[in-house]
Amino acid sequence: MGAYRMRFSRNRLVSLMALLLSFACAPAWAQAPQYGNVGRAPTEQEIRAWDIAISLDGKELPPGSGNAQQGAPLFASKCAGCHGPNLEGSRLGPRLMGGKGTINTTHPEKTIGSYWPFATSVWDYINRAMPRFQEGSLTADQVYALTAFLLFRNEVIGEAEVMNAQSLPKVQMPNRNGFLPPRVEDIPDTNKRGCRFGTCP
């Protein structure tokens, strides 16, 4: 307990010093040593080509749209070989549906419907990494349609519901509240979360 208190007060001291330093160094910061001619500004085109990670508010999502009806034949031709015609999975790819109500049992079945907290992750991962060995081959419309198909088969959205840059980030996933800490803003402070010797409670 004593050690803990000591650490706490030392942390406060360090924060105070950092605060003072940040004022003291403010003018120096503005003129931080630049490393001349090392690195260049990327073009807008270069940024757009690589800017594929999708945030929870979906601001990187490209134009385009699709629904489950459009996604079904795409799934059959491009995904079923590994994930099974009924999304049941195989040795080559995981199961993509089912498992509802199993997460707190001794045999949790983690799928998009039973476990995944965010719909944007589905779009991001299909676009980034699927189909295996043909990564990057799907159009934005196809990724929206496949995402819609998976969400529909997991009973998250309706069969005709259209997924696009506006609607997808608004989809509420069934297990969104299954993660600790629940608020994304609280993730970085592992002391406050009570993490100890490498494990969080």
Partner 1 sequence: MNSQQADRRRFLKGSAALAGLASAGVIYPASAQTPATADRRPDEWYDYGVRSRFVKSMRLGTNGRFGKDPRPGVPRDYGFRAPLQDVYGTITPAPLHFIINHGYDPPDINPAEHRLMVHGLVDRPLIFSMDELLRLPSVTRMHFVECAGNSTASGAGFAPGLARTLPPATAQDTHGLTSCSEWTGVPLSLLLEQAGVKREGTWIVAEGAEQGMHMKSIPIAKALDDTLVVYGQNGEPIRPEQGFPLRLLTPGYEGINNVKWLRRIKVVDQPYMGMRESTKYPSLRVDGKARWFQFELGPKSVITRPSGGQHLAGPGFYEITGLAWSGAGSIRKVEVSTDGGRSWKEAEIQGPVHRKAHTRFRLAWNWNGSEAVLQSRCTDDRGDVQPSVAELGKFIGVTMSLDFFKERPDAITHFNAIQPWRVMRDGSVQNAIFA
Q: Which of residues 47-86 bind partner 1 (CB under 8 A)?
A: 47, 50-57
Residue of 16, 20, 76, 184 that binds partner 1 (CB under 8 A): 184
124 near partner 1 (CB under 8 A) = yes
Q: How far apart are CA 34 and CA 18, in angstroms?
A: 23
Q: How far apart are CA 78 and CA 142, in angstroms?
A: 11
68 CB contacts (<8 Å, ≥6 apart)? 145, 148, 149, 151, 152, 153, 157, 158, 159, 160, 161
Task: Give the nearest distance from C-beta 160 to partner 1 in angstroms.
Answer: 26
3-state SS, residue 70: helix
Tell me the two tokens of residue 158: 């309706």
117 near partner 1 (CB under 8 A) = yes
Residue of 23, 26, 40, 183 that binds partner 1 (CB under 8 A): 40
Residues at the contact surface with partner 1, assessed by CB under 8 A: 3, 7, 32, 34-35, 38-42, 46-47, 50-57, 91-92, 103-104, 106, 108, 110, 115-118, 120-121, 124-125, 128-129, 132-133, 135, 178-180, 184, 187-188, 190, 195-201
